[in-house]
Structure 1
Amino acid sequence: MKVLIVNTSDIEGGSAKSALTLHKEFLDFGISSEFLVQTKSSMAEGVTGNSGKLNKLKVAIRSRLDRLPQIFYPNRLKYPFSNSFLPVEGEVKRKFAEADIINLHWVNNGFISLEYLKSLKKPIVWTMHDSWVFTGGCHLPFDCLRYQAKCGGCLSLQAKSSFDLSTINWYRKNKVFIQSNITFVSPSQWLAGAARSSSLLKNKPIETLGNPLNQKVFKPLNQKFAREVLNLPDSSFVLGFGGNAVVSDPNKGFKEVVAVLQSGKLKAKNITLLVFGNKDRVDLKIEGVKIINMGIISSDYLMGLVYSSIDCLLVASKSENFPYVILEALSCGTPSVAFRVGGIPELITHRKNGYLVSPYDLTDYADGINFVYKLGKVSMLKSCASKAAQFEASKIAKKYISLFETLILANGSR
């Protein structure tokens, strides 16, 4: 069995982490696996893709071309919207042709066109990391349910017509999905439920397989030791806030976190906030709070130290599928405070391994931080570890392998 895993990046974002972790597990199981990316940044075995300044320019051009139709919607919201219509490059086609089964992850940014999938006479497993697969183009529909019909009058585009770019994309996807052999996978029950309610995927096979977690790296470490390594104050109540573009992405809720820290409702008086995953520094002064910018952390081992050093992880996203930051923090024995949205309740058991905040109640958010401060991280260590263990990488990889084998066998009998 030859598996081709496809994602835009091999290191950036949760989809890259999921895809790369699966790829490494497949190799460990003796599976012939190749990981095809649009932009290669790691030196991991079996990762194929281009790198360098020329490729960076090419990717930027393709990404802008893919977004070109949005110029007709000048009032569109600043949330991601993708079309995926650019022709697939020759080397990508060759890799697809060599595989027995293809596992797509996040393939936007002008990387893979929808129409190309119709030409593939082999099974495809599409792991959904957001809602884009079953919408007319938006990645985060929030409270919009128009994907249950044929989209149109898109709220993300601020479209005035009921027939718009999202409607066109809906018809494109519908045609592709009818003519392709695709099984869809969702990391969370929440996203799987939304997909099943959509007009595009309501009659399609959808499996739920959690994100794979490398527990050899993400494991509890002595907090005092972790703080010594990172040069953090031992007596401070340390909070973590991080993720991909965690400050610049409006969905991540940095403004809400700042508002809570400025509210004066927190019982801890000596607070340190570690901000990680953002390119730009946070130059902000909050009374009683020391802010430390960690920047982008590319090492999982260093990230594990960060999780072990903090007392609590803050997640303020307005929409999330199955966030790795919470999963990794749990694996390191660290509770999270997060809004009760998306797939987050599948990771956080309220008052057991964290605190689920009523959306988007900032007073309740402060109560959640106070709850963790009063109870203490150590009291939740066992609950954190037991939840994380459910998603240990080899367990999830075995489920994928079983699914792949079933689909290849079924495809061969056609």
Structure 2
Amino acid sequence: MADKKLKIVFLTSFGDTGGASMAALRIAKAVEAQGMDVHFLVQHQNKPHPKMQVVKGWKIRLAMEKLHFLWYEKDAAHRFAFSSATVGADLANHPLIQSADIIHIHWTNQGFLSMKGMKKLFLLQKPIVWTLHDIWAFSGGCHYADRCDGYLKECGCCPLLRNPHSHDLSHQQWKKKREIYPLNHPHLIGVSDWIVAQGKSAALAPLLHFDRIFNPIDTTLFQPSDQEDRLKKKWGLPLHQPLLLFGAANLLDPRKGFKDVCKAIEQLIAQGIKPPHLVFFGKCTQLDTLTALPFEYSYLGLISAQEDMRELYQIGDGFITAALHENLSYMILEAMACETPVITYRTGGNPEAVLHKENGYVADYQSVEDLAKGILWLTQEADLVCIKKEARGHILENFNEQIVGKEYVEKYNQALSIKKSL
């Protein structure tokens, strides 16, 4: 417990929508348990929150940001893969910012914090802690680089832009960050070793401090149940078949790997192997894609309540993700906390949670054949009792709220100490 009750202001575009906001809320809960005073400054929220203030004008700012980017946009598919940060609110004089000991940045794109607004915050000379939910902080505008290595240099020739060239929008944004960061030298917190490694290899790395602190999981909420049969009946799922879960906010988002999972199941069928019963959940605007599947499945629609997610994890024999780009998936952590082993591609930070054949299965990247092997191993070969215990044990040891809360408080105090010594 720190001697001083520090006042922390969390900045995040969306107060209760999306993975970054979920992470921010959970981090806030963890550091509040360590005696910190946390407040949120957001541009949009669905439900009132006692410590959350909304900066009005979001729809106008978002429209202006999108309108500006239309000139540079390659196509609609890449619209949200790049954030230009040209439009944002002026937050520097907000009372929460002025009274804060620490400014803690999370995901602030889509009209909340512009490059100009960021510069004003940095000039306040308050310590800046920035949790990395993607690589935007050290790129020229992309959230995930895929196979592009522009951020290792000075960006430019960005494949996400309509007319890429050496001095395009990505290079311009990169230069603005190079100008702004020396004003404050923010402390960047990666939620996986993978993203820290990406950041330390970036051309902007000398201007930044990097550390790794995992995202926290409430292991009293996400925990196993002994009521599997009752829950299966509640959700209308088969009682006597292995259940393999696959879910995403947008089920058919190409980055989430729905097609690869289906191909893996079809490979097992082609080999004469009876696959597990697939349980899909998430938004799906093309239901005919599901009805055409040549195997048994259940589709549960969009699931948003944490309690509902917990029940699904509790009745699943496994959770599978074939995402192409991940920092470190929260769904993986939640599933494992409920003793549900995970099958994942070797991508991003996922292998830091899923240990191959110890608490789950890590398939070779984009290898549908290995993904199918993982399904076979988990459902027919693995010692499930042992694997399930190992999955939850790994979460308890590395991702519980108390550990994460203490690590953030140490980082806050370190950032304050460095600032005072300058």
- Residue 416 (structure 2) aligned to one of 404, 408, 413: 408
- Aligned position for 1:338: 344
What is the CA distance between 1:181 and its match in structure 2?
Answer: 3.8
For the residues of structure 1 that align with 2:66 and 2:96, how far apart are their CA atoms? Answer: 26
Contact 2:10 2:104 (8 Å CA) reproduced: yes
What is the CA distance between 1:159 and its match in structure 2?
Answer: 3.4
- Aligned position for 2:220: 216
What is the CA distance between 1:246 and its match in structure 2?
Answer: 3.6
- Aligned position for 2:71: 72
In structure 2, relative to structure 1, the CA distance for the partners of 1:257 and 1:244 (3 Å cut) is same
In structure 2, relative to structure 1, the CA distance for the partners of 1:351 and 1:363 (3 Å cut) is same
TM-score by length of 2: 0.90
Post-superposition Cα deviations, 1:314-352, rounded to whole Å, max 9, x if no partner, equal 111111011101011110101111110111111111111
What is the CA distance between 1:212 and its match in structure 2?
Answer: 0.9
For the residues of structure 1 that align with 2:18 and 2:272, how far apart are their CA atoms? Answer: 33
Contact 2:195 2:348 (8 Å CA) reproduced: yes
In structure 2, relative to structure 1, the CA distance for the partners of 1:150 and 1:376 (3 Å cut) is same
SS in 2 for 1:244: strand
- Residue 240 (structure 2) aligned to one of 222, 235, 241: 235
- Aligned position for 1:308: 314
In structure 2, relative to structure 1, the CA distance for the partners of 1:37 and 1:213 (3 Å cut) is same
- Aligned position for 1:398: 406
What is the CA distance between 1:231 and its match in structure 2?
Answer: 2.8
- Aligned position for 1:147: 151
- Aligned position for 2:3: none
SS in 2 for 1:355: strand
What is the CA distance between 1:108 and its match in structure 2?
Answer: 0.6
For the residues of structure 1 that align with 2:93 and 2:345, how far apart are their CA atoms? Answer: 39
For the residues of structure 1 that align with 2:319 and 2:248, how far apart are their CA atoms? Answer: 11
Worse-matched range after superposition: 131-140 or 176-185:
176-185
User: In structure 2, what residue type is equivalent to 1:362?
Assistant: V
The reply to whether residue 359 of structure 1 matches residue 360 of structure 2 is: no
User: In structure 2, what residue type is equivalent to 1:334?
Assistant: T
For the residues of structure 1 that align with 2:337 and 2:45, how far apart are their CA atoms? Answer: 28
Contact 2:341 2:387 (8 Å CA) reproduced: yes
What is the CA distance between 1:200 and its match in structure 2?
Answer: 1.1
Q: Give aligned-pair identity as a percent.
A: 28
Contact 2:91 2:97 (8 Å CA) reproduced: no
SS in 2 for 1:67: helix
Worse-matched range after superposition: 356-365 or 111-120:
111-120
What is the CA distance between 1:76 and its match in structure 2?
Answer: 4.3
- Residue 210 (structure 2) aligned to one of 197, 206, 210: 206
Post-superposition Cα deviations, 1:130-159, rounded to whole Å, max 9, x if no partner, equal 111111111110111111111111112253
Worse-matched range after superposition: 129-138 or 67-76:
67-76
What is the CA distance between 1:160 and its match in structure 2?
Answer: 3.7
In structure 2, relative to structure 1, the CA distance for the partners of 1:308 and 1:282 (3 Å cut) is farther
For the residues of structure 1 that align with 2:130 and 2:8, how far apart are their CA atoms? Answer: 13
SS in 2 for 1:277: strand
What is the CA distance between 1:296 and its match in structure 2?
Answer: 3.1
In structure 2, relative to structure 1, the CA distance for the partners of 1:188 and 1:74 (3 Å cut) is closer
For the residues of structure 2 that align with 1:319 and 1:386, how far apart are their CA atoms? Answer: 26
In structure 2, relative to structure 1, the CA distance for the partners of 1:91 and 1:275 (3 Å cut) is farther
For the residues of structure 2 that align with 1:291 and 1:141, how far apart are their CA atoms? Answer: 34
- Aligned position for 2:100: 99
Contact 2:61 2:88 (8 Å CA) reproduced: no
SS in 1 for 2:77: coil
For the residues of structure 1 that align with 2:409 and 2:295, how far apart are their CA atoms? Answer: 50
For the residues of structure 2 that align with 1:282 and 1:379, how far apart are their CA atoms? Answer: 37
Worse-matched range after superposition: 85-94 or 11-20:
85-94
What is the CA distance between 1:32 and its match in structure 2?
Answer: 1.2
Structure 1: tracts of 5 or more residues without a match: none
For the residues of structure 2 that align with 1:89 and 1:150, how far apart are their CA atoms? Answer: 27
User: In structure 1, what residue type is equivalent to 2:353?
Assistant: L
- Aligned position for 2:31: 26
* Correspondences of 1:218-367 after superposition (within 5 Å): 218-222=222-226, 223-247=228-252, 249-263=253-267, 264-265=269-270, 269=274, 271-278=276-283, 280=285, 282-283=287-288, 284-285=290-291, 286-297=293-304, 299-367=305-373
User: In structure 2, what residue type is equivalent to 1:23?
Assistant: A
Post-superposition Cα deviations, 1:235-257, rounded to whole Å, max 9, x if no partner, equal 1221111233242x321112222
In structure 2, relative to structure 1, the CA distance for the partners of 1:230 and 1:194 (3 Å cut) is same
For the residues of structure 1 that align with 2:50 and 2:364, how far apart are their CA atoms? Answer: 43
For the residues of structure 2 that align with 1:30 and 1:84, how far apart are their CA atoms? Answer: 34
Contact 2:91 2:117 (8 Å CA) reproduced: no
The reply to whether residue 136 of structure 1 matches residue 140 of structure 2 is: yes
TM-score by length of 1: 0.91
For the residues of structure 2 that align with 1:192 and 1:179, how far apart are their CA atoms? Answer: 21
Post-superposition Cα deviations, 1:163-219, rounded to whole Å, max 9, x if no partner, equal 211011101111111212411100111110110000112442101000111111011
What is the CA distance between 1:59 and its match in structure 2?
Answer: 3.0
Structure 2: tracts of 5 or more residues without a match: 1-5
In structure 2, relative to structure 1, the CA distance for the partners of 1:376 and 1:8 (3 Å cut) is farther
Worse-matched range after superposition: 370-379 or 211-220:
370-379
User: In structure 2, what residue type is equivalent to 1:145?
Assistant: D
